[in-house]
Structure 1
């Protein structure tokens, strides 16, 4: 995308060609892993060999068809980037952008949500991923590969509002996605998928706070004191963004629990959940979340940590910003976990059962 932005609206950016090609080649390779696992799991059930099962997946299932188009699109991108005659053509950045958008479309087409709701699921998943890719993609490239601060103010004039729009779209689409994947949010915390989702949401809080600081607080602090290049502070934001993406990637390898009770009949509960939850456990347990003295104190502590992140931001303490962001994730996580309790009907049933 940045290749299509005129030079006067961005700093000098240099991304190694080898890194670009490696990232492009990784797209079909890494997206093949879920197909490989599916072929192994279902090949035994249907008594089919690996090649026969994979052929069926590629030709009959949405995820397989999506992967074929993804591999084709990635091959096109690799040619554009790797072949000099194409890389130097001034029209190729636009073609590459179109191919990248098609890749996001095929990712949405092959998503779990699209298999549940073909049109709405495709739109929501594609919109969510595209918004995140634009926001964080530009953030990563500029923070780590910009060589100077040339045209920095011109860059921020278009990137800041674009980032706000992408964040809003990503949040709305993300909440909508949850209605498909995890309609029982509290109960899902009994499973590994729910625990990872909670950690992801907890990590979003310092990430959004850092994004707000970079977008709105940095200009004010820069006028009143000597601040470092904003690229350094954007790198801190990108580190926390990697944490969020890491949780998301692990979640992608776990089936979403549409019905937690049914899932618990075939899966064991999360070890994190059973270690922290203080009540009696049952697969039919229905959890609710409520305020209590413990989580109120933790939420207050989380606010103080966010304020401390702002102080560290103002004083340009990079290590403290990262450390405090991780502390904020842990505090928010425990604040939610300590607020979980069984519904009254479930508590009564457990008491009667123990008698």
Structure 2
């Protein structure tokens, strides 16, 4: 990321498709860490105490998250990197997904993050969705955990998009 986007320009890159893809890729890393912890630490304990436990659904869920990260990376390879964001906006416009989720005026090329009531609401929802570890502990379905991971990514994405101000 540092080779393509300067850290100070990371939030500015949200205006173009490459930056949106990069944000989504980074958000998928959150549930990947959760699954890595579940499958790497808790799964070992579970398998030593319960020999009938089937770890395959949990490994599949982690695999699907990794697959989604690779898909987003592949999409990023087809997009123009934001070396000159203002020139990229002039030539190809703002990211369509930004226009879909952002409900403010889009007429600048710099992004500032600011918290408001809707971003706090979505941030709380995103934190609540990290209960996928609790889902594992209570022996619920790995599919439910995967769906919660997707909801975590979606609500965290909406939190970020609702917190930006374009200047």
1:317 aligns with 2:144: no
Normalised TM-score (structure 1): 0.43
The DSSP-based 3-state class of the residue aligned with 2:75 is helix
Equivalence for 2:101: 276
The alpha-carbon deviation at position 316 of structure 1 amounts to 4.4
Q: 1:292 aligns with which of 116, 120, 130?
A: 116
Shift, 1:297, TM fit: 2.0
**Match of 1:209?**
34
Matched, 1:304 2:128: yes
Query: How well do the aligned residues superpose, as a CA RMSD in angstroms?
Result: 1.9
Contact 2:85 2:109 in 1 (8 A): no
> Which residue does 2:17 correspond to in 1?
192
* Preserved CA contact (<8 Å) 1:227 1:316: no
Where does structure 1 lack aligned partners over 5 or more consecutive residues?
A: 1-177, 347-355
Shift of 1:205: 0.7
Separation in 2, partners of 1:226, 1:332: 36
Partner of 2:44: 219
Question: Could you tell me whether the CA contact under 8 Å between 2:46 and 2:53 is conserved in 1?
Answer: no
Is 2:64 the counterpart of 1:244?
Answer: no
The more displaced of 260-269 and 225-234 is 225-234
Name the count of aligned residue pairs.
164
Larger RCO: Structure 1 or Structure 2 (Cα < 8 Å, ≥ 6 residues apart)?
2
Unaligned runs of 5+ in 2: none
**Displacement of 1:196:** 1.1
TM-score by length of structure 2 reads: 0.88
